[in-house]
């Protein structure tokens, strides 16, 4: 099979027939063998019935339906697990992504050897309240992830070599950072293609402004995981040692002041009146906490099922 198209959807009943007809047309024009995997993310409208009607007419249409709304990342992950095509394409169900981009995306993966090609909505048809924070968000993601050539991390339209989707795990709200996940898994050839974007035709967006707060928090998590995920003591141990050093210096200063005070009877000195006393106290307590966090982190890592999962690219 050439292509698996994974479509996560949540209450998109109006768009589905149009989207399906469009994909079918592009697939038959290019003679691709394909499957469409609709992942119904607990829709409360008629989306599932619509998919059933569509699947009755076309044997290439498959569906997975969640019992409740879990989110776009779980939907994508479920689609990825089931995908059988050599190239896996993800696209939103709301007709904002154009199926006409698929042949070129497919060519970039199969002929130019990309692991992942992300769409870039260079000209967006979204409100300003979304486009401006998105620019900022992408700039941060570029810096943190080190994937410097991507302008649009969170474009729903992406293409993957099958291998990639089988080796990454998209959970929580991590769909915003799939290129970063892929990079962390060892897939380096990540490209971009300018894609046409359209205004939402039916329904409304499923994400509110909290997407930006959550987006940044998730980026922090991913950064931490990729840097210290399997060696947490390296960061917490370092912080703990720094704190201990500050604590010892402060204690030394306090003792010195006390000795000086004791030697000169003109000066009445109480250690609890010195700022260094509190500094040493706070740093020592923090230092112990950092070390304990590091140790617990190490124990958790040791027990993780993935502690020895390495992606091997070649073996002779």
Please give the structure tokens belonging to residue 105.
């995306």
User: Does residue 97 interact with ligand UDP by CB under 6 A?
Assistant: no
User: Does residue 280 interact with Mg ion by CB under 5 A?
Assistant: no
By CB under 6 A, the residues from 10 to 39 that bind ligand UDP are 10, 12
Spatial distance between the Cα atoms of 126 and 57, rounded to a whole number of angstroms: 34
CB of 214 to ligand UDP, least distance (A): 12
The mark string for 127-166 relative to ligand UDP (x by CB under 6 A, - otherwise) is -----------------------------x----------
3-state DSSP of 238-273: HHHHHHHHHHHHHHHHHHHHHHHHHHCCCCCCCHHH
By CB under 6 A, the residues from 203 to 222 that bind ligand UDP are 205-207
Applying CB under 5 A, which of residues 35, 41, 94, 218 lies at the interface with Mg ion? 94
Spatial distance between the Cα atoms of 310 and 185, rounded to a whole number of angstroms: 8
Total of chain residues touching ligand UDP, rule CB under 6 A? 17
Torsion of the alpha carbons at 139, 96, 19 and 176, rounded to the nearest 10: 20
Closest to 110 measured CA to CA, from 3, 8, 211: 3
Applying CB under 5 A, which of residues 20, 77, 96, 184 lies at the interface with Mg ion? 96
Closest to 96 measured CA to CA, from 181, 23, 202, 6: 202
The mark string for 67-96 relative to ligand UDP (x by CB under 6 A, - otherwise) is --x-xx--x----------------xxx-x
Q: What's the chain's length in residues?
A: 316
63, β-bridge pairs? 38
The mark string for 277-316 relative to ligand UDP (x by CB under 6 A, - otherwise) is ----------------------------------------
Q: Which one, 40 or 283, has the nearer CB to ligand UDP?
A: 40
- 248 backbone φψ class: left, alpha, beta (φ>0; ψ -120 to 50): alpha
User: Does residue 248 interact with ligand UDP by CB under 6 A?
Assistant: no
User: Does residue 173 interact with ligand UDP by CB under 6 A?
Assistant: no
User: Does residue 174 interact with ligand UDP by CB under 6 A?
Assistant: no
119, β-bridge pairs? 193
Q: What are phi and psi of 222, to 5 degrees?
A: -65, -40
Spatial distance between the Cα atoms of 257 and 249, rounded to a whole number of angstroms: 12
List interacting residues with Mg ion (CB under 5 A): 92, 94, 96
List interacting residues with ligand UDP (CB under 6 A): 8-10, 12, 41, 69, 71-72, 75, 92-94, 96, 156, 205-207
């Amino acid at each position: 099979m050439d292509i698996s198209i994974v479509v996560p959807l949540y209450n998109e009943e109006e768009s589905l027939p149009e989207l399906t007809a469009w994909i079918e047309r592009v697939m038959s024009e290019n003679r691709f063998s394909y499957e469409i995997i609709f992942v119904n993310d607990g829709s409360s409208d008629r989306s599932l019935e619509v998919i059933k009607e569509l699947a009755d007419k076309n044997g290439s249409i498959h569906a997975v339906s969640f019992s409740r709304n879990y989110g776009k990342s779980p939907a994508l992950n479920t689609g990825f697990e089931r995908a059988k095509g050599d190239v896996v394409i993800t696209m939103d169900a709301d007709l904002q992504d154009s199926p006409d981009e698929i042949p070129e995306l497919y060519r970039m993966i199969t002929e130019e050897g990309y692991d992942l090609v992300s769409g870039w909505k260079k000209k967006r048809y979204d409100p300003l309240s979304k486009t401006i924070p998105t620019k900022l968000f992408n700039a941060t993601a570029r810096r943190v992830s080190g994937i410097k050539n991507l302008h649009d991390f969170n474009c729903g339209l992406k293409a993957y070599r099958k291998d990639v989707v089988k080796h990454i795990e998209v959970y929580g709200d991590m769909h915003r950072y799939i290129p970063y996940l892929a990079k962390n898994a060892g897939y380096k050839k990540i490209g971009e293609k300018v894609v046409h974007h359209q205004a939402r035709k039916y329904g409304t967006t499923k994400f509110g402004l909290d997407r930006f707060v959550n987006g940044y928090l998730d980026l922090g998590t991913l950064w931490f995981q990729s840097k210290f995920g399997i060696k947490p003591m390296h960061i917490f141990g370092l912080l703990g040692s720094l704190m201990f050093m500050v604590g010892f210096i402060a204690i030394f200063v306090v003792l010195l002041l006390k000795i000086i005070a004791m030697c000169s009877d003109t000066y009445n000195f109480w250690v609890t009146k010195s700022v260094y006393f509190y500094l040493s106290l706070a740093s020592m307590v923090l230092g112990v906490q950092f070390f304990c966090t590091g140790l617990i982190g190490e124990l958790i890592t040791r027990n993780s099922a993935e502690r020895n999962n390495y992606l091997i690219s070649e073996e002779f």
